[in-house]
Structure 1
Amino acid sequence: MSGTVDVGIDLGTTNSAVALLHGVDTEVLKNNDGDETTPSAVWVDRRERLYVGRAARDRAEADPDNTCMEFKLRMGTAGVAKRFAASGREMTPEELSAQVLKSLRADVRQRTGSEIGAAVVTVPAAFDIHSCDATRRAAELAGLSFSPLLQEPTAAALAYGFQAAEENALWLVYDLGGGTFDAAVIQVRDGEFSVVNDRGDNFLGGKLIDWRIVEELLIPAAVRQAPSLAGLRRGDPRWFAAVNKLKLAAETAKIRLSRVDTTDIVVELDDGSGGRFEIDCELTRADVERITEPLLVRSINLCHKALRERSLSPADIEKVILVGGPTLSPYLRERLADPVHGLGVALDHSQDPMTVVARGAAIFAGTQRIPSSVEPALGGFGVHFEYSPVGPDTEPLVAGKVSPVAEGLSVELINSDTRPPWRSGRISVSDDGLFAVSLWAEPGRLNTFAVELTDSTGTRRDVEPGHITYTVGAVETEPPLTHSIGVGLDGNQAMWLLERGTGLPARRTVTLRTTAEGVIRIPVLEGEYHRADRNRRIGRLEFDTGRGLPSGSEVVFTIEIDESRLIKASAYVPMLDEEFQDTVNLRTEVTPGQPLLVRAFDAERSRLASVRERQRVLGNPVADVLIARIDSERMLHDVDALVLAAGSDPDAATAAERRLLDLRVAIDDVEDELEWPSLVNEARGMIAEARDLVGGGDLLLYENAINEAIDARDADLLRQRMEELRLHVMRGLDRSGVLQLHFFHALREMRGEMRNLAHADRLIAEGDRAVETGELNRLRGVNMQLRDLLPEPPLPPDPFSTVDRVR
């Protein structure tokens, strides 16, 4: 056994594949049907017999109630189990994915005769923590006890660059799959890969094209040919079977149109009243191109965003690597190559876009050593090696530890495949069993080194393992965190603990303070926005101390994320001197129901209409571009269609929630642009007033932070920095007594609203005496008691909104 995983699995939305690494070559294994890809589909019959792959996909048209496909998009979403009608069996997306993984494991067993317990499994770069955690659970359910996760764009780049000669190049991976899209900027330098930046969308893929063909072409044609099909639409349970047939026909026709200009679609539909109609329509490549255009615009915008965020342009990119079945479309390739409307960069599709991710996963698997403890044979020795099995160096350094420890041991590593055989020479083992040796490896093949151990007499001793392997090839350096991870705070603020782009693994510790007594719950967020509600809530930090903690108690929170984007957290409470481990619950979020989605969409549609009207008055050119992007990507149309279908389609409900967030953030950007001049003026006014109110050297830090936000033209960040300045000024005024003095005068004006006037008069008299004697703490106590006498206790005054300030 090589000790490395060597098996890579592309767990796809539409199709999945498995590949093996043999030295520097990869092999995509065929399934029982003789295909290199296996449809990600599950069918359960009335006897609860379960089928995976082509057999399941072929049943989808005739038996949709007992077939499930495209469940990858619901990974990590609670409450979306599929119920198979005939058997009554229910399965979560993780359980369905596990069945696909089991099928691929069986293909490996059949082709190689070996049972695997480890494999690298790929995930979209845009997958959130929920979805990555669900993928890991699916792998465990499938019998894979060790399953490192790898981002799909990185896998594709590894497949292209594993033995590449380029020493310094920038590539863009354009990965358009069945249900997801990723754009990743990859740097290749001296045999190492690193992801410079990435952008993606978990609900942008080939299936969206299929649905648009159904909704905009096939359903209208069906209703024209058979009026009794009026009302036919996605999301209506009555038409589930008919719409499913049209969806499958659309997918098949779309694939055919990558090679021909026109194709016929013939589908027999039931109108639900016993009438059956053969629907016959012609679909042209031009039809599909028109429908695809807004989706391509969206993907190209994401590519440009990934480049722009790292101050790059398409001119800096050597080539675009195409990944995913939809990239076989001639129109898509022409559009991407267009220097005006696309990227204008040379396209590389020399590898099969359907299997390139599985190949790259297998290459990465060659760098992953299977966790195991080396037990020496009876009377022999064991060696624990520390090194990377794949790397760019031809002379890699290998460290090891021999057990049990004995005096006079020596180690020699020998590569017998070279002519003459290469030998490291005898390396002495230290008294604590340690040694280090530099190997010499030939590029272009798997190098195998025999391990020879001798004792103080020069006698060879049994050792385990008896050999190690090394391959010269490109490897990935620290994979980046694709979304920032943080916590939600009061005031709808997000505190980012680990920023997007941080190399993994990563760890961060921060001190938080409680805002209430009892069970502590802190929302854990994933995203990029300063407003907490604009980000994905992936779970919550939750623990019960068992004892009451006063508000304001410290909680020291530590979060860790590994290379597979799997998250762990702990919380230490100093007041209790107690630590709470693994406190992040990642399984708490449920996709909102259709009524809630409808209300949210109506609110955003109204907000967009409002900003359009404001833009017509103001004529801001940047806002004009932002609104044009919303229109060119057909955001309103997308959300409207998804919300309409959400009533009976879990996929649509999940996609609607995510696309609604995209729309909300896009409208935020327009609003921020329209408000930007007044926001900047307000911020600069606050700085001037703050100098007048508190002054001091600390103020310069807050001024600089505000100016940096202005330079970055980031409205959310500027608002956050303004709030920080506001709090700084309030603390300064509180320390000087000015804030409490003004609060006292404001509360005295509210005397008539207080519940106990006699008690209020006594407190006011005590406050007047405290003002005369300058007793700040006494005045603060009076203010707290007066505040409690009001039906709705007010907040302390905002120093920036006060006209007549008390000095």
Structure 2
Amino acid sequence: MSGTVDVGIDLGTTNSAVALLRGVDTEVLKNNDGDQTTPSAVWIDRRERLYVGRAARDRAELDPGNTCMEFKLRMGTSGAAKRFETSGRELTPEELSAEVLKSLRADVRQRTGEEIGAAVVTVPAAFDMNSCDATRRAARLAGLSFSPLLQEPTAAALAYGFQAAEDNALWLVYDLGGGTFDAAVIQLRDGEFSVVNDRGDNFLGGKLIDWKIVEELLVPAAVRQVPALSGLRRGDPRWFAAVNKLKLAAETAKIRLSRVDTANILVELEDADGRRVEFDHELTRADVERLAEPLLVRSINLCHKALRERELGPADIEKVILVGGPTLTPYLRERLADPKHGLGVPLDFGQDPMTVVARGAAIFAGTQRIPDLGAPAPAAGGFAVRFEYQPVGPDTEPLVAGRVEPAEPGLSVELVNSETRPPWRSGRITVTDAGLFAASLWAEPGRLNTFAVELTDSTGARREVEPDRITYTVGAVETEPPLTHSIGVGLDGNQTLWLLERGTGLPARRTVTLRTTVAVRGGQGGGLIRIPVLEGEYQRADRNRRIGRLEFGTERVDRAVPVGSEVVFTIEVDESRLIKASAYVPILDEEFQDTVNLRTEFAPSQQSLARAADLERERLATVRERQRVLGNPVADVLIARIDSERIVHDVESLVRAAKADPDAATAAERRLLDLRVAIDDVEDELAWPELVGEARGMVAEARDMIATYGEQSDRDDLPLYEDAINAAIESREADLLRQRMEELRLHVMRVLDRTGVLQVHFFHSLAEMRGEMRNGPHADRLIADGHAAVDGGELNRLRGVNMQLRDLLPEPPLPPDPFSTVDRAR
């Protein structure tokens, strides 16, 4: 046993692959069909036998009710199980993915004779936390007890750069798969990889082109050719089998068009009366290129965005690495290479884009030690050594540390590489009385270096030792994988408090103090402390994905938690983007842990999607009219981008299809978010002068309040907030400016709260609401007590009065805003 994982799996939307690291080379293992890729498809026959791969893929056309494909896009989504009609079995996307992983494990066993329990599994960089968590669950279901996750663009870069001679290079990975797209800027420096920035879309891939061929070409042609097919459309459950056949035929023809100019589609369909009819259509490369154009524009825009956010341009990029089957298309390559309409950067497709991710995953697997192996058992009558070192790294002279067990006086260790000429020897290294030693190796690039472990006792006699050899490979490795989306919590007022910014190196941890907005009375029912965990980039909470929540209510507390109580919230994210959260409530002196539910909510109904789409069309029409009047050139560019990517058309098409297709519902929800955010950008641009004025006014008010009520440390901190707001104004990013304004507001609130100004104002506001309060006599006593606390300057007493008064209201008010309270406070 090598002690390292060495197995990498590309778990793809359309196809999957598994590879092994062998020294400095990788081997993609073939399946029983003799192919290097396995279709990510599952079929259950009438005898309830389950098939994975080509056998399942081939049955999708004839038996769609018992076949499932492209389930990766629903990973982590509640209510997304597939029901297989004949057997009645239901499998979730995680369970379906587990079947694919089991099949790949079986391929490893068939080719190597080894039963593996660990493998690196790749995920799209754009995958959110719950999708990553679902991938881990799938791996466990498949028997992989240890499954580090690796982003697909990083895996591809590792495959290209593992033994590369380049240094201090910037690459762009363009990864267009069957269902997802990722653009990642990768830097190679001193033998180490780092992700400079990335952008992606979980619902942008080759399957979208397939559906466009079906909906915009094949369905209209079929209806014209065979009148009995009138009514044929994707969103109608009656035509599910027919549409599925057209989808598979479109995918096959599209692949053929990578090599020829035309491809014939011949499909046997059933009309509404069950009669078999033949549909014949000639698909041209020009047709596919026209339909693919908006998708390519979308992907290229994401590439430019990833570069622009790090103040880079195409001229800074040495090469573009192509990943994914759709990148084999000649038109796509020509478009990307075009300096005017694409990227204008040299393309590198020296490795098979279908298997390069699996190869990179295997390389990364070589850096991952299998945990919980325990200490090596001593050789019979001998010793064991527990080594600590990185088995793959950029150094040619890596440091190795070890502990010899059992420890014995007079021991020495020597490490020998007999494959060099002459053999390299470390020289005798004395082992301490505690059994510890350290040594620097010398390794040659370009191959696996094996070092024999020679242990001698105080007499100079050789002793048996386990392990008796270790290996090391010189190669590029990834350092600190970045957080691909910011992580934060949702606050009242549709605001977001970001805790970990995107790009933060992992692992990462952050603690923040929050305050409750509802009262919880222990054991009395009602009341719930809920902390929504968000992932995204937008200051408006509802524009981000809610990836989970940490919550606890009356059944978990033994006494009252008043409104405004402190909650110390901590969030942690590891290298594989596994998220943990905890909340400590000082008033209870209790910590609540590991209660984040990382599950996406059910996909919305088709009716709710249709209503939301109507609202966004109305918003877009409104901003178009405002732009026509104002003539803002930046807003004009933003509207043109909405049109060039055909976002509205995509939304309308997906909403129609959502009646019968759960994938379409999920994609429609995401595309609707894209449309909302794009319209937000236009609205922000049109309102930008007002927002800047509001920010500058807030800064002026903050200076005044801090000067009046703050301490010297508060005044010293204020320029940091001002600089952050000025930088946001320079960037012209409205959401960022709102975020910086919120940070300044919270800073001022902390100062005013500490000095009692906010509590005094809050008390006066609550006293004015006396008529709405329950238990009038008790409210009167509290108000009298509050006036006495104000007159005596007793802040803690006043805070307690405010909490009790707030609890007497049917709808407790929000905490006061310092920028609307200062006059009253004075």
- TM-score (norm. length: structure 1): 0.93
CA distance in 1, matches of 2:47, 2:749: 70
Deviation, structure 1 residue 804: 8.7
Give the corresponding residue for 1:386: 388
- The aligned amino acid for 2:250 is A
Conservation of the 8 A alpha-carbon contact between 1:763 and 1:786: no
Report the CA distance between 1:55 and its aligned residue: 0.5
Tell me how far 1:528 sits from its aligned partner.
1.2
What's the CA shift for 1:106?
Answer: 1.2
> Post-superposition shift, 1:269?
0.9
Matched, 1:599 2:611: yes
Report the secondary structure of 1:584's partner residue: coil
**Residues 1:203 and 2:206 aligned together:** no
1:618 equivalent in alignment to 2:618? no
1:788-803 correspondence to structure 2 within 5 Å:
none
Change in CA separation of 1:725 and 1:276 when aligned onto 2, cut-off 3 Å: same
Alpha-carbon spacing, 1:223–1:451, altered in 2? closer, same or farther (3 Å): same
- Is 782-791 or 654-663 further displaced after alignment? 782-791
Offset from partner CA, 1:136-182 (integer Å, 9 cap, x none): 11111111111111111111111111111101110000000000000
Residue identity in the other structure for 2:530 = R
Against the structure 1 CA distance between its residues 551 and 25, is the aligned structure 2 distance closer, same or farther, given a 3 Å change threshold? Answer: same
Distance, in Å, in 1 between the alignment partners of 2:818 and 2:604 is: 40
Determine the structure 2 residue equivalent to 1:441.
443
**What residue in structure 2 maps to residue 641 of structure 1?**
653
Answering whether residue 533 of structure 2 is matched by residue 531 of structure 1, we say no
Distance in 2 between residues matched to 1:797 and 1:122, nearest whole Å: 47
In 2, the alpha carbon distance for the partners of 1:740 and 1:237 equals 60
1:686 partner SS: helix
* AA in 1 matched with 2:419: D
* Mapped contact 2:546–2:600 kept (Cα < 8 A): no
1:94 aligned onto 2:94: yes
Q: Which residue is 2:524 aligned to? A: none
Distance in 2 separating the partners of 1:356 and 1:441: 26
CA contact (8 A) 1:748 1:764 kept: no
1:367 aligns with 2:367: yes
Stretch moving more, 388-397 or 682-691? 682-691
* 1:212 aligned counterpart, secondary structure: helix
Counterpart code for 1:547: D
Offset of 1:755 from its aligned partner?
8.3
Instruction: Give the secondary-structure state (helix, strand or coil) at the position aligned to 1:140.
Output: helix
| Aligned-partner Cα distance in 1 for 2:790–2:92 | 70
SS at match of 1:585: coil
- In the superposition, the TM-score normalised over structure 2's length comes to 0.91
Map 1:205-354 to 2 at 5 A: 205-354=205-354
Counterparts of 1:292 and 1:678, CA distance in 2: 39
- TM-aligned CA distance change 1:642 to 1:759, over 3 Å: same
Name the amino acid aligned to 1:486. G
User: Deviations along 1:215-239, whole A, 9 cap, x unmatched?
Assistant: 0000000000111211111121101
Within a 5 Å distance, the mapping from 1:565-604 to structure 2 comes to 565-587=577-599, 589-604=601-616
**Farther off after superposition, 334-343 or 184-193:** 184-193
Residue of structure 2 in register with 1:37 after alignment: 37
Q: 583-592 vs 53-62, which deviates more? A: 583-592
SS at 1:419's partner residue? Answer: coil
Asked whether the equivalents of residues 760 and 786 of structure 1 are also in contact (C-alpha less than 8 Å), the reply is no
In the TM superposition, residue 558 of structure 1 has moved relative to its aligned partner by: 2.5
User: What corresponds to 2:669 in structure 1?
Assistant: 657
The residue identity in structure 2 corresponding to 1:12 is: G
Q: Mapping of 1:167-206 within 5 angstroms?
A: 167-206=167-206
Alpha carbons 2:168, 2:190 under 8 Å: kept? yes
1:546 pairs with 2:546: no
Question: Residue type of the partner of 1:435?
Answer: F
Could you tell me how far apart the structure 2 residues matched to 1:236 and 1:596 are? 17
| Equivalent of 1:420 in 422, 425, 442 | 422
Conserved 8 A contact 2:454-2:462: yes
Separation in 2 of the partners of 1:300 and 1:554? 46
Query: How far did 1:593 drift?
Result: 2.1
Alpha-carbon spacing, 1:142–1:776, altered in 2? closer, same or farther (3 Å): closer
| Equivalenced residues, count | 806
Cα distance in 2 for partners of 1:429, 1:80 equals 58
Distance 2:96 2:102 in 1: 10
Structure 1: 5+ residue stretches without partners: none
Native 8 Å contact 2:760 2:790 kept in 1: no
Q: Please, which moves more after superposition, 790-799 or 679-688?
A: 790-799
Q: Is the 8 A contact 1:120 1:362 kept in 2?
A: yes
Alignment of 1:399-548 (within 5 A): 399-518=401-520, 519-543=528-552, 545-548=556-559
Counterpart mapping for 1:86-125 below 5 A: 86-125=86-125
Distance 1:785 1:349, change over 3 A: closer
Shift of residue 417 of structure 1?
1.4
Q: Which moved more, 1:64-73 or 1:382-391?
A: 382-391
Q: Is this contact kept in 1: 2:155–2:360, CA < 8 A?
A: yes
Structure 2: distance between partners of 1:463 and 1:743: 73
RMSD: 3.0
- Distance apart, 1:359 and its partner CA: 1.0
Shift of 1:786: 9.2
Question: Structure 1 residues 530-539 or 568-577, which shifts more?
Answer: 568-577
Q: CA deviation at 1:311?
A: 0.5
CA offset at residue 595 of structure 1?
Answer: 2.1
Greater shift in the superposed pair: 709-718 or 635-644: 709-718
Structure 1 equivalent of residue 733 of structure 2: 714
Preserved contact between residue 182 and residue 198 of structure 2 (Cα < 8 Å)? yes
Q: Distance in 2 between matches of 1:739 and 1:506?
A: 34
* CA shift digits 1:316-364 (9 cap, x unpaired): 0000000000000010000000001000000001111111111111111
Counterpart CA distance in 2 for 1:769 and 1:98 is: 65
Between the aligned partners of 2:389 and 2:811, the Cα distance in structure 1 is: 65
Deviates more, 1:13-22 or 1:742-751: 742-751
CA distance in 2: counterparts of 1:192 and 1:744, whole angstroms: 58
CA distance in structure 1 between the aligned counterparts of 2:320 and 2:794, rounded to whole angstroms: 67
Matched-pair contact (CA < 8 Å) for 1:15–1:37: yes
In the superposition, relative to structure 1, how do residues 253 and 793 fare at CA in structure 2: closer, same or farther (>3 Å)? Answer: closer
Share of identical aligned residues, percent? 82
Distance 2:789 2:729 in 1: 41
Q: Which amino acid aligns with 1:666?
A: A
SS of residue matched to 1:188:
strand
How far did 1:110 drift? Answer: 1.3
Cα distance in 2 for partners of 1:161, 1:740 equals 59
Distance change >3 Å, CA 21–CA 551, structure 1 → 2: same
Change (3 A) 1:734 1:8: closer
Shift of 1:791: 8.0
Cα gap change, 1:380 to 1:723, in 2 (>3 Å): same
Give the deviation of 1:689 after TM superposition: 4.5
- With over 3 angstroms needed to count, the CA separation of the structure-2 counterparts of 1:194 and 1:452, relative to structure 1, is same
Per the TM alignment, residue 290 of structure 1 is displaced from its structure 2 partner at its CA by: 0.5
The answer to whether the Cα contact below 8 Å between 2:232 and 2:239 also exists between their aligned partners in 1 is yes
Contact 2:763 2:786 in 1 (8 A): no
Deviates more, 1:715-724 or 1:143-152: 715-724
Which letter maps to 1:396? P
Contact 1:269 1:277 in 2 (8 A): yes
Inter-partner Cα distance in structure 2 for 1:761 and 1:406? 77
